[in-house]
């Protein structure tokens, strides 16, 4: 994996909570939100792999996610909530307004994430790489790791939770000057 892909991957993971909040706030279905998040990652990884220069990955991902949410709503024929692209653009505008304040925190969060990933056991880093760097499906990761799909899902969930906890702890400690 080249340096640009690593950089994009790190930024994507650092913005996971923000992007997931944006998506979940629109679809209100945890599984659908996770699917849209994963599809957004795949589109980002493919774009980078094809040589596309993405200067603001967080903004780019939010636009992709917005389009995937619209597609999700169109597929939900019995949906109780009907929304159009103008509502999504308004929500994106609100999200961008809050992002200006978050930009300063992003570099600290990225550094904390890098530090947290660096101390993970090699097996855990390998699972993350298979999922987020290589874009493998859960089933493919299970084959490569010689585990059940359920075990891979659980391991990735625990890794994401551990990383989120580690990052938050590092940020709190840095705020205290420790």
For 85-94, what is each residue's pLDDT tens digit? Answer: 555 565 565 5
Q: What is the pLDDT of residue 147?
A: 92
- For the chain, what is the domain count? 1
Domain range for 11 is 3-175
The alpha carbon of residue 104 and the mean position of all alpha carbons in its chain are separated, in whole angstroms, by: 19
Q: Is the pLDDT of residue 1 over 70?
A: no
For 131-149, what is each residue's pLDDT tens digit? Answer: 887 788 889 989 999 999 8
What percentage of the chain reaches a pLDDT higher than 70?
82
Say what the pTM is. 0.47
For 27-39, what is each residue's pLDDT tens digit? Answer: 888 899 999 999 9
- Compute the distance between CA of residue 62 and CA of residue 50 in angstroms, rounded to an integer: 20
99-107 contact pairs (CB < 8 A, 24+)? 99/18, 99/58, 99/59, 102/18, 105/171, 106/11, 106/14, 106/15, 106/58
Q: What is the pLDDT of residue 70?
A: 83
- Compute the distance between CA of residue 130 and CA of residue 144 in angstroms, rounded to an integer: 9
The alpha carbon of residue 77 and the mean position of all alpha carbons in its chain are separated, in whole angstroms, by: 27
């Amino acid at each position: 994996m080249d340096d640009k892909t690593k950089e994009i991957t790190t930024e994507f993971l650092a913005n996971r909570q923000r992007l997931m909040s944006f998506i979940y706030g629109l679809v209100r279905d945890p599984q659908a939100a996770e699917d849209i998040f994963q599809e957004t990652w795949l589109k980002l990884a493919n774009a980078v792999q094809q040589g596309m220069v993405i200067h603001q990955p967080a903004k780019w991902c939010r636009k992709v996610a917005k389009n995937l949410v619209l597609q999700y709503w169109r597929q939900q024929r019995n949906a109780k909530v009907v929304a159009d692209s103008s509502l999504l653009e308004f929500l994106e505008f609100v999200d961008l307004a809050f992002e200006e304040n978050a930009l300063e925190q992003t570099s600290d969060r990225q550094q904390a994430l890098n530090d947290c990933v660096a101390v993970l056991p090699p097996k855990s880093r390998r699972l993350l790489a298979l999922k987020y760097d290589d874009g493998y499906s859960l089933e493919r990761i299970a084959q490569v790791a010689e585990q059940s799909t359920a075990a891979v899902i659980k391991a990735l969930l625990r890794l994401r939770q551990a990383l989120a906890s580690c990052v938050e702890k590092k940020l709190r400690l840095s705020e205290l000057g420790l």
